[in-house]
Structure 1
Amino acid sequence: MSTIHRGVALVTGASSGIGRATATALAKAGYRVFGASRRPSLDGLAGVTMLPCDVTDDASVSRLVAEVVGEAGRVDLLINNAGIGLLGGAEESSIAQAQRLFDINVFGVMRVTNAVLPIMRRQGSGRIVNMSSVLGLIPAPFNALYAATKHAIEGYSESLDHELRAQGIRVVLVEPAYTRTSFEDNLVKPDQTLDIYDAGRASLSVVMRKAMETGDMPEIVAEAVLKAATAVRPRHRYPAGKMAGQVSFLRRFVPESAFDKSLRKQNGLPA
């Protein structure tokens, strides 16, 4: 049986969680995979070359892409997965903290994308998969700033896809719901907490912890990424897992008042 060679893939945030599962799945599917992380795992991943990269630093991103192209000669698939979360009331974060979140979750995606696009354009082909979230579709109390970054990625990605399609490049979104990773443990805390939000913040933290315990495995999201990466005629959005699919459907078809009531109930907020 011959080996399938799908091309060269670059995955940011590949040292753990969804990124690690995605890099592994792509390698198994026949891609030559390069994984990027601020601190690449020492134990490595089978079939994945790990490289250092800070997506908030232009020079670091440039070095990463140059190294991948120097070794592999091309980039066929980019998975923008690197990101962080922040749990707290919107006004509990300073503008500097909000800017830091956007620098990683939004401008980090733009930096890596801009570095890869000239290569894909020379090739006349390429696929970019941006990791969004169901929180890019719905409101997220005590996750307002994180949700804002994902809403931004949604608008950026769909618009960019229209700009690049004539160049043979497609941009698509993958939207996970709660996923069993260390994401919840690594949430950034607000830098100027207010007593008025203590109860709500603590309540939502419990809701998130319980949801993570029963959430999808990272491999479910990796399957959605692989589907988005290999589809001949890709859709704009790929919900990852049963809950994500349900949320996407409900957001489109349930009346706004009913959705609002359900969301408050699910997040433990008073009616």
Structure 2
Amino acid sequence: MQNVVLITGASSGIGKSIGEYLAKHNYKVYGTSRQPKQDEINGIHFLKLDVTNTESVKSAVDILIKKEGRIDFLINNAGVGITGPMEEIPEEEQKNIFETNYFGPLRVINTVLPHMRSNKEGFIINITSIAGHMGLPFRGFYSATKGALELTTEAYRMELKAFNIKMCNVAPGDFATNIATGRYHAPIQKNSPYNEVYEKSLKLMDEHVDHGKDPSLMAKSVHVIMQKSNPKIHYKVGDFTQKISVFLKHILPDKVFEKMLLKHYKL
């Protein structure tokens, strides 16, 4: 019997890579997109789902349950990027990033949980970010949404323990995806006090993504984690420098770590 997997945001990037990899390894994979282009692509069966809309989430999960009767794995991957000075990002965009990156996964989790509970098991993997372990300059709101999801997972795990439902975070570093083209960029304003430094930081961020690792590494890592009977709470996937930065964040004095980030981002 094939395990049934639901992956949000599976039409591109990391979600697509995970979905295609799992489909090749005998999983029944359902991926979501706000506007699916086809019913099935490379083994991923697509459902229309907008994580910012409760009715959309409920409709997609109902369709999946009618087809398969259960959901064994949920991989919360849908998300958007955002860059800009904290002071200059419009309030509407601040709320939108939280609706998508934080409240979105929670909507899907809470819709799926009753079905997993009735099945007496389940495994939920939240794709967060190494950026969620530290406040990064000009990516503050992105860091905040991913950090919030990291902490929320810790609470969920304890609440769900009695129901045999597992949950963990997988935090990727920089991967070569199209997130840079799809994210909200606060415009570089010539009269802004952040003009020069934000422009330099934006170029540096884009370079990191362009030279990021192949998303297939995430797919393989997630597959390994899915097979664990007692998963850790937090996993990190990326190059050594990015993963070690989380470790250093916890052991170094705050100001020493801050100086390292300032040097890294040339601020």
TM bin, normalised by shorter chain, reads over 0.9
Give the aligned partner of residue 230 of structure 1.
Answer: 227
Partner Cα distance (2:38, 2:27) in 1? 21
Are 1:221 and 2:221 matched, yes or no? no
Tell me the secondary structure at the aligned position of residue 205 of structure 2: helix
Tell me which of 99, 107, 114 is aligned to 2:110.
Answer: 114
Aligned length in residues: 265
Matches of 2:63 and 2:23, distance apart in 1: 18
Q: Who is 2:180 aligned against?
A: 184
Cα deviation digits, residues 117-147 of structure 1 (max 9, x gap):
0000001100000010011101211011111
Residue type of the alignment partner of 2:250: R
Q: What letter is aligned with 1:99?
A: K
Alignment of 1:36 onto 2:32:
yes
Matched residues in 1 for 2:185 and 2:211: separation? 23
2:266 maps to which residue?
A: 268
1: CA distance, partners of 2:133 / 2:164: 27
2:226 matches 1:239: no
Cα offset for 1:184?
1.1
Distance in 2 of aligned mates of 1:223 and 1:91: 39
Please tell me whether residue 45 in structure 1 is matched to residue 41 in structure 2: yes
CA contact (8 A) 1:87 1:201 kept: no
Using structure 2 for the length normalisation, give the TM-score: 0.94
- SS of alignment partner, residue 41 of structure 2: coil
Secondary structure of the residue aligned to 1:35 is strand
| Equivalent in the alignment of 1:207 | 204
SS at match of 1:220: helix
List per-residue Cα deviations over 1:79-125 (Å, max 9, x = no partner): 00000011101111222221111001011001100110000000110
Conserved in 1, the CA contact under 8 Å of 2:188 and 2:198? Answer: no
Aligned with residue 254 of structure 1, among 247, 252, 255: 252
Structure 1 residue 75 corresponds to structure 2 residue 71: yes
Query: In the alignment, what sits opposite 1:196?
Result: 193
* Match status 1:23 vs 2:35: no
Q: Is 2:133 aligned against 1:137?
A: yes
Question: Aligned equivalents of 1:206 and 1:29: distance in 2?
Answer: 38
Indicate the RMSD between aligned Cα atoms, in angstroms.
Answer: 1.7
Query: Aligned equivalents of 1:226 and 1:212: distance in 2?
Result: 23
1:56 corresponding residue in structure 2: 52
CA contact (8 A) 1:89 1:201 kept: yes
Q: Retained in 1: the 8 A contact 2:4–2:29? A: yes
> Which 5+ residue runs of structure 2 have no aligned equivalent?
none
Quick check: 2:83–2:186 contact (8 Å CA) kept in 1? yes
Contact 2:39–2:46 (Cα < 8 Å) also in 1: no
Pairwise CA distance, 1:158:
1.1
What is the CA-CA distance between 1:43 and the residue it aligns to? 8.4
Q: CA deviation at 1:201?
A: 1.7
Structure 2 Cα separation of the partners of residues 43 and 204 of structure 1: 39
